[in-house]
A and B are shown apart, each in its own frame.
Chain A
Amino acid sequence: MTDRLAAERSARTGTPAASGDREATSTILQAVAVSKIFGGLVAVDGVDFEIPRRSIVSIIGPNGAGKTTFFNMLTGLYKPSAGRIGFDGRDITARRPDVITSLGMARTFQNIRLFATMTALENVMVGQHARMKAGLFASVLRLPRVRQEEREVREKARETLEYVGLRPSLLDQMAANLSYGDQRRVEIARALASDPKLLLLDEPTAGMNPQESARLTQFMETLRRERGLTILLIEHDMKVVMGVSDRVTVLDHGEKIAEGDPDEVRADKRVVEAYLGRQEGR
């Protein structure tokens, strides 16, 4: 069933949507037959994938299934070995990560990657880099428009950190000195500060207790409602996945083995096998 769907989809979307009717298309991102090969290892194997605008979509799968690798291709950190990726009406296959960010995609990392010796506020200010204009000479002269921009960027960083729930007293703390949960908050704020249309979260609830996970789940709903964001989530916590996702895609050994709404996926035999181990199920 899922195989037929995938085949249909790839036939329909031979190439990612052309620009022009950007807002009109209902998919914000589509990947066509994307693969990544490391040496002999096929980490992602011909995956077709798409994300409807303003939806929350999850990718799940056992450890080493290729989820993070897939993220890295979407955000430009890895070049796909094969396949095309379209985002918001443009072909972004193998574009530079900073270009992809300026087009409106932002992400967090599985193992938090903040700028450790910068403050929480500065981290979030860096997140706005692509939306800023100040150049070298203008910054040295601190022209009025640079001064104005700095003020706005600082203010927006403050607001964004407040929005994700960081205590105001922590704004000027070095990121490295923050607690794990606060570091996660700052990382999400940093991504939000770039004004993304699509937010990619790689295991955001890792290391969180159930209350914190529940709060983050709500926060994702809030983001979609208040900011019109589309969210792509990699997540191991099934409670979060089933609670928040409109659609779920399951990867195993780099292949997409199932796709659908949470209930369909939960009932899928191959998914159960992948999670319980093939040995018993044979």
Chain B
Amino acid sequence: MSSAAATWRGLGDRIRELPRPVVWAIGAAVLVLLILLPFAYQPASGFIDDCVTALAYVVMALGLNIVVGFAGLLDLGYVAFYAIGAYVIGWYGSGFFAAIAGGKGLHVWAESAGALPGIHFNFLIVLVVAAVYAALAGMIIGLPTLRLRGDYIAIVTLAFGEITRVFAINGADIHPFGKDYPLTLGRQGITPIDPIDLPFVKQFDPLNLRPWYWFALAMVLVVLFVNFRLRDSRLGRAWIALREDEVAAASMGVPLVKTKLKAYATGAAFGGMSGAFLASYLNTVNADQFEFSFSIFVLAMIILGGLGSIWGVVLGAVALSFINSRLIPDVLNGVPHKVGLNFDLTELSFGIFGFLLVIMMVLRPEGLLPERRRQIELTEGVGGDETLYEARA
């Protein structure tokens, strides 16, 4: 065991043993620091930019963690919910449907859009719609997997992610609501997207990243809160029970279909919200953003951090997104040239993530900050699997 790994474990356990008020005080102090962080940098600093992206990824990772970490349903198509959330703001928060209302635009609670053509909903409405659409999509993807187990679920979800991407690419030729209303703009991308516009504050400015940062931080806090509340609830226990033993869970009165669909829907809703935020932040919705590799990227975050462990997942998401945005392009990218090789390391970033995962599996399979439950599971190998339940929906 590496000593770094041992230190991490020690830290996790030590924090758990501290008295409650001390933990709250530390948490409050960290939160204040996080809120003040942007003032230490320029309003358009590259570091804050990376932080905003990292926070959006934390939201996605926490969503995927509900499906994979809590309920134990391996989902390789999570990028679909990123796409759905992004297209929701593409549809309802840009000039994309310019023909709507005879070119005069459809505006809901969106003063700063003025008289622009297209549909412009307030961002809070967009967030809710994105969550609802993604949740519905999550249940649709969930339905065919209900009769399946393990690897087969992974294959179906992977296919669903790819189908979504193909729709995104070819969406310019798909007109479900008439020829003026295509589904997407394919690789060309829908742009510009409305910046976030909240009641009582000025519309967000693409050159001042601070409000974006604070909004992303607020989203993370809300999603964290929901995660903790759900984990310690009737539903959270049911998720873990069916992850541990589906047959026993069903026999104890847990309805498998409902419980799984709730996991898919909740996890997807967070992905959709984060997708809408990222699209607004990046100012574009482009089919090339929704590659299969992104699903793996988010999955790698939760495995690195510790499947099922909420804090571990936060840590894993922050770590991987900074490795992606900083370590690989800034620090490591010169390395191949120095040793006389001529290639761009950023092209290999997924190879590097894969390598990291392999190292993790060898040194610390339970993740950086493991869920307490997993520690014993992986070290002592409990739980057998025996097909017993004659699966039916």
Contact = CB atoms under 8 A, between A and B. Distances in A.
Contact of B229 (A101, A106, A107, A142): A142
B342 interface: no
Interface in A74-108: 75-79, 96-99, 101-102, 106-107
A177 B382 CA distance: 9
B382 A117 contact: yes
Given A77-B390, A114-B248, A127 B253 contact: yes
Contact of A176 (B233, B249, B382, B386): B382
A151 B242 CA distance: 23
A42 interface: no
Nearest to A129: B253
B234 A176 contact: no
Nearest to B233: A139
Contacts of A77: 247, 250-251, 388-390
B244 interface: yes
Contacts of A132: 234
A99 B392 CA distance: 13
A201 B64 CA distance: 38
B interface bracket (residues with beta carbon within 8 Å of A) = 35 or more
A249 B240 CA distance: 37
B230 to A, nearest CB: 6
Contacts of A149: 234
Contact of A117 (B229, B240, B254, B389): B240
Contacts of B256: 98
A118 B251 contact: no
B253 A98 contact: yes
Interface string B367-392: 00000011011001011101011101
Given A113-B247, A116-B377, A134-B233, A101 B252 contact: yes
A78 B245 contact: no
B244 A102 contact: no
Given A115-B241, A117-B244, A126-B241, A139 B255 contact: no
A136 B251 contact: no
Contacts of A191: 252
Nearest to A112: B248
A153 B225 CA distance: 22
Given A98-B253, A176-B377, A176-B382, A115 B240 contact: yes
B237 interface: yes
B229 A118 contact: no
B260 interface: no
B226 interface: yes
A96 B388 contact: no
B124 to A, nearest CB: 18
A240 interface: no
B258 to A, nearest CB: 9
B313 interface: no
Interface string B251-274: 111111000001000100000000
A135 B262 CA distance: 10
Contact of B390 (A79, A98, A134, A142): A79
B234 A139 contact: yes
B360 interface: no
Interface string A50-88: 000000000000000000000010011111000000000
A130 B392 CA distance: 19
A115 B248 contact: yes
Interface string B214-245: 00000000000110011001111110110011
Contact of B235 (A72, A107, A125, A136): A136
A102 B373 CA distance: 28
Given A79-B390, A115-B240, A101 B249 contact: no
Nearest to B386: A111
Interface hub of B229, B234, B255, B377 (most chain A Cβ within 10 A): B234
Contact of A134 (B234, B249, B383, B386): B234
B235 A117 contact: no
Given A75-B251, A98-B253, A117-B240, A136 B262 contact: yes
A129 B242 CA distance: 12
A177 to B, nearest CB: 7
Contacts of B234: 129, 132, 134, 139, 149-150, 153
Interface in A134-186: 134-136, 139-142, 146, 149-150, 153, 174, 176-177
A122 interface: yes
B266 A72 contact: no
A190 interface: yes
A73 to B, nearest CB: 10
A141 B226 CA distance: 9
B251 A97 contact: yes
Contacts of B247: 77, 113
B249 A126 contact: yes
A194 B241 CA distance: 15
B377 A194 contact: no
Contacts of A122: 237, 240
A49 interface: no
Given A101-B252, A107-B251, A115 B230 contact: no
A36 to B, nearest CB: 10
A234 B325 CA distance: 61
B226 A126 contact: no
Contacts of A134: 233-235
A134 B266 CA distance: 16
B386 to A, nearest CB: 8
Q: Which 10 A-B pairs have the closest CB atoms?
A: A130-B253, A117-B373, A139-B233, A101-B253, A176-B382, A115-B244, A116-B382, A113-B248, A97-B250, A98-B255
20 contacts: A77-B389, A96-B392, A97-B251, A101-B252, A106-B251, A111-B384, A114-B248, A115-B245, A116-B383, A117-B374, A125-B237, A127-B252, A129-B252, A130-B254, A134-B234, A136-B262, A140-B225, A150-B233, A176-B380, A176-B383
Given A75-B251, A129-B234, A139-B230, 10 more contacts: A98-B254, A98-B255, A115-B240, A115-B249, A134-B234, A135-B235, A136-B262, A140-B233, A142-B229, A194-B253
